[in-house]
Amino acid sequence: MLVVRPISITDYPALHGLAVESGHGFTSLPVNEALLQQKIARSVAAFQTIPSQATDSSYLFVLEDTQSQKVVGISGIEGAVGLADSFYHYHLSKVVHASRRLKVYNEVELLTLCNDYTGQTEICTLFLLADYRKAYAGKLLSKVRFLFMAEHRQGFAQRVFAEMRGVSDDKGQSPFWQWLEKHFFTLDFPTADYLSGIGQKEFISELMPKYPIYVNLLSADAQAVIGKVHDKTQPALALLEKEGFRWRGYVDIFDGGPTVENELENINSIKQSRKLSVEIAEPQSNKVILVCNTKFSDFRALVVESEVDSVSQKIRLSAAQADYLLVKPDDSVRVLTIA
Residue 230 a catalytic site member: yes
Tell me how many degrees the CA angle 247-43-241 measures, rounded to the nearest 5: 20
Pair 264, 158: CB distance under 8 Å: yes
Q: What is the dihedral of CA 144, 148, 151, 157, to 10 degrees?
A: -120
Pair 44, 7: CB distance under 8 Å: yes
Q: What is the dihedral of CA 285, 289, 295, 300, to 10 degrees?
A: 100
3-state secondary structure of 3: strand
**How far is Cα of residue 8 from the mean position of the Cα atoms in its chain?**
19
* Distance, CA of 197 to CA of 199 (rounded, Å): 5
Radius of gyration of the chain (CA): 22
> Whats the size of the chain, residue-wise?
339
Contacts with 100 (C-beta within 8 Å, 6 or more apart), sequence order: none
The DSSP symbol for 165 reads P
Amino acid of residue 128 = L
**Active-site residue among 16, 24, 91, 230?**
230
The DSSP symbol for 258 reads E
The DSSP symbol for 265 reads G
Rounded to 10°, the helix 33-46/12-22 angle is: 120
* Catalytic residue positions, numbered: 230
